[in-house]
Chains A and B, each alone.
Chain A
Amino acid sequence: MLKSTHHRNIPSAVESPLPRGWSEHKAPSGHTYYYNAETKQSTYTRPTAPSDEPLQIDYGATEPDHVLRASMQAMESFHQNNGATPEPGRFTGGKSYQDHSRRRGNQGDRPKSKATIPNCTPWVLVMTKLGRRFVHNTETKQSLWKFPQDVMMAVIEMDRLEWEAKKFAESQPRESEIPQDEAKVQPQGRDSAAASATPASPAAREPPAPVSRQEDYDSDSYEEVEVTDDEAPEDEEGPGLPKRPRLSQDEGTPAPPAAGPVEFDEDDIAWQLAQMEEDYGDGAQDLNDKEEDEDDGLPLTASDNIALFRSLLDDCGISPYSTFEKLIEDLSIVEDTRWVALPNTTSRKEAFVAWSKDRIVELQARKESEKKTRDPKVEYLHFLQRHATPKLYWPEFKRKFKKEPELRDVAMQEKDREKLYREFVAKLKTGEAERRKDLVALLKGADKATLQRDMDLRHLPDNVLRDLRFYTLDERRRDELVRTFLETQ
């Protein structure tokens, strides 16, 4: 999930040239940062020159990581809330909504449009500004990121119809760029979105805390990169909406596959405006609830920042026994957005130590439970059964199989291995009839209570499984013999 965003992240950063005045530097921690000598401004995000070329959306891309997005969103909201105290969101119509969004910045996600789902009457599908979708029940006033099963089916059906309609309606050449299977891709993306949005959103709903100020998701930077040909409707609608693709390009993450075509033409916008007007008319109250949920809770506490950082540690797959220095060596971790959730290296180190402590406790608990299932001696005897031969002396055998895990296992000592091998080979040298007799004697010697008629051979009592005599016969014949013995019990 994370890895994928990274791989796409890095090349794009490499390709786009820095605007004039900006220079690239390396921080002692290994971060790359950018400094503008004229404005004395420094930022971790790569500044891009506002270009005139139309946006390029990676249609093959999957939806970006939601934890990531939530974290960026949360940081943004932190910047917003630093200056002014947040006000509860109000939806009173297009105009005030627009003002509202200006004041809060465009990064905060909020409901944008709503559509009724056919065959699923109380539920409506709400699209947020960042392209996430949730379902809202107009009767119970319940909003869910995770779609209930029946609603999900209805939504997929709805998406399919919508896409078919779009394909017929628009026969422009641009449309041909969109792959045919986009409709298929989209529900998938949303599935994962629905799944991952649930853990992401609680992280996004907490009160403020110190976050690194380096993240320069300034709302102004979105104003200036606006590139669209239909100015007038845009202004009415508010700056947030049609710029979403551009906005995500700015952050270096791939754009989420938008529900509609990426470039809005006038008809689309007019339709959407009408739709929104309608929505805000009747559904204002419902959306209001949602809005308050989302916005008032957005800033992060210290514990959330730590949780974000921990999720990064979990994702990067580093061993909890490893060192912090080792962690820093991995560039993809340092470049992750969650890395800057914590303001400095000291706090990161603390978080790492706490994380590693917890993880190790977990690991040890797991190991404790697994311990009983694994016995090095039994493994070694199995190995001998397969490979031991009277033709090889112990040193030869050891040399031949020195790379095998059974011979490298530190839990067993070399001299025990040697002893077992010698005994084993001595047994192999005796005739098969004798070995059979040995096995029967072993089984007879075992505790009768532990033997049952049709038990799995792996669940035989320990003293049988750990005995050399159990392994000296060929596996198939031994199994036959043991089974017949068990049946006679």
Chain B
Amino acid sequence: MPPIRSRGSRKPPPAGFEDIEDTLLEYSNKMRDAQNASHEGKKKHEAVWPVFQISHARSRYIYDLYYTREAISKQLYDWLLKNGYADANLIAKWKKQGYEKLCCLRCVQTKETNFQSTCICRVPKAGLRREDGGGEGGAGIQCVSCGCRGCASSD
């Protein structure tokens, strides 16, 4: 078994990490809360939604910091990806046209689904009929895998 390395003994993170440390810490606290939250009263698939959502939000934060706000260096960005602060595969999808708002990777997975298609949350709001969801124009839907209410780029 490899030795457990504490933060002090590791190589320090690239410069600029201390600026975003607080926000990342908040995300990790939220994540811990979500992981420890009780599943009682929830549907089976509902229990993991918050985990997906927090991980999405954190990835988005880092993606924004690097690509939109240009607040962090390439070095730090790579380090964050390597250390699991953001999901590199998800970010890779966001760079593709039509996937700019993708909620999670499971929602674009067509294999092992009933109709060999993507998730309901990938359908643009305009294409949903009223009866599809509880609300107007299918506004009531939440996808099974991550609780997304719609992540089509045209929405």
Chain A residues engaging chain B, CB cutoff 8 angstroms: 319-323, 325-326, 353, 356-357, 360, 363, 410-415
Q: Are B57 and A410 in touch, CB under 8 angstroms?
A: no
The answer to whether B12 has its CB under 8 Å from any CB of chain A is yes
Q: In the complex where A353-B64, A413-B11, A413-B12 touch, is A321 in contact with B17 (Cβ < 8 A)? A: no
Q: Residues 1-19 of chain B: 1 if any A CB is under 8 Å from the residue's CB, otherwise 0?
A: 0000011110111000111
Query: Whole-angstrom distance from the CB of B33 to the nearest CB of chain A?
Result: 15
The answer to whether B61 has its CB under 8 Å from any CB of chain A is yes
Q: Are A321 and B12 in touch, CB under 8 angstroms?
A: no
A476 to B64, CA, bound (A): 51
Q: Are B9 and A353 in touch, CB under 8 angstroms?
A: no
Query: Whole-angstrom distance from the CB of B62 to the nearest CB of chain A?
Result: 11
Q: Are B23 and A326 in touch, CB under 8 angstroms?
A: yes
**B22 (CB) vs chain A CBs: closest residue:** A319
**A355 (CB) vs chain B CBs: closest residue:** B69
The answer to whether B68 has its CB under 8 Å from any CB of chain A is yes
| Residues of the B chain whose Cβ atoms lie less than 8 Å from the Cβ of A360 | 69-71
Q: Are B12 and A411 in touch, CB under 8 angstroms?
A: yes
| Residues of the B chain whose Cβ atoms lie less than 8 Å from the Cβ of A415 | 9
Chain B residues engaging chain A, CB cutoff 8 angstroms: 6-9, 11-13, 17-20, 22-23, 26, 57, 61, 64-65, 68-71
**A414 (CB) vs chain B CBs: closest residue:** B8
Q: Are B9 and A410 in touch, CB under 8 angstroms?
A: no
A149 to B6, CA, bound (A): 62
Q: In the complex where A357-B71, A360-B71 touch, is A321 in contact with B9 (Cβ < 8 A)? A: no
Q: In the complex where A353-B64, A356-B69, A357-B69 touch, is A410 in contact with B23 (Cβ < 8 A)? A: no
| Residues of the A chain whose Cβ atoms lie less than 8 Å from the Cβ of B57 | 323, 325
Interface of B is mostly: helix
Q: 28 A-B contacts, Cβ less than 8 Å apart?
A: A319-B19, A319-B22, A319-B23, A321-B19, A321-B20, A321-B22, A321-B23, A321-B65, A321-B71, A322-B23, A323-B23, A323-B57, A323-B61, A325-B57, A326-B23, A353-B64, A353-B69, A356-B69, A360-B70, A360-B71, A410-B7, A410-B13, A410-B17, A410-B18, A412-B12, A413-B8, A413-B12, A415-B9
| Residues of the B chain whose Cβ atoms lie less than 8 Å from the Cβ of A412 | 12
A326 to B29, CA, bound (A): 14
A326 to B26, CA, bound (A): 10
> Within the complex, which residue of A320, A363, A414 is in contact with B9, where a contact is CB–CB below 8 Å?
A414
Query: Whole-angstrom distance from the CB of B7 to the nearest CB of chain A?
Result: 8
A185 to B128, CA, bound (A): 63
Query: Whole-angstrom distance from the CB of A71 to the nearest CB of chain B?
Result: 26
| Residues of the B chain whose Cβ atoms lie less than 8 Å from the Cβ of A411 | 12
**A413 (CB) vs chain B CBs: closest residue:** B12
| Residues of the B chain whose Cβ atoms lie less than 8 Å from the Cβ of A321 | 19-20, 22-23, 65, 71
**A357 (CB) vs chain B CBs: closest residue:** B69
Query: Whole-angstrom distance from the CB of A72 to the nearest CB of chain B?
Result: 31
A353 to B18, CA, bound (A): 20
A133 to B6, CA, bound (A): 63
Query: Whole-angstrom distance from the CB of A360 to the nearest CB of chain B?
Result: 4
| Residues of the A chain whose Cβ atoms lie less than 8 Å from the Cβ of B11 | 413
> Within the complex, which residue of B6, B9, B12, B71 is in contact with A356, where a contact is CB–CB below 8 Å?
B71
A29 to B122, CA, bound (A): 25
The 9 closest A-B pairs by CB, nearest first: A414-B8, A360-B71, A410-B12, A414-B9, A321-B19, A357-B69, A321-B20, A356-B69, A323-B61
A415 to B11, CA, bound (A): 10
| Residues of the A chain whose Cβ atoms lie less than 8 Å from the Cβ of B20 | 321
**B68 (CB) vs chain A CBs: closest residue:** A353
| Residues of the B chain whose Cβ atoms lie less than 8 Å from the Cβ of A356 | 69, 71
| Residues of the A chain whose Cβ atoms lie less than 8 Å from the Cβ of B69 | 353, 356-357, 360
A415 to B69, CA, bound (A): 35
Query: Whole-angstrom distance from the CB of A289 to the nearest CB of chain B?
Result: 44
| Residues of the A chain whose Cβ atoms lie less than 8 Å from the Cβ of B64 | 353
**B61 (CB) vs chain A CBs: closest residue:** A323
A235 to B144, CA, bound (A): 67
A242 to B19, CA, bound (A): 52
A360 to B65, CA, bound (A): 10
18 further A-B pairs in the complex, CB-CB below 8 A; given A320-B71, A357-B68: A319-B22, A321-B20, A321-B22, A322-B23, A323-B61, A325-B57, A326-B23, A353-B68, A357-B71, A360-B69, A363-B19, A410-B7, A410-B12, A410-B18, A411-B12, A413-B8, A413-B12, A414-B9
**B17 (CB) vs chain A CBs: closest residue:** A410
| Residues of the A chain whose Cβ atoms lie less than 8 Å from the Cβ of B9 | 413-415
| Residues of the A chain whose Cβ atoms lie less than 8 Å from the Cβ of B6 | 414
A413 to B8, CA, bound (A): 7
| Residues of the A chain whose Cβ atoms lie less than 8 Å from the Cβ of B68 | 353, 357
A357 to B70, CA, bound (A): 7
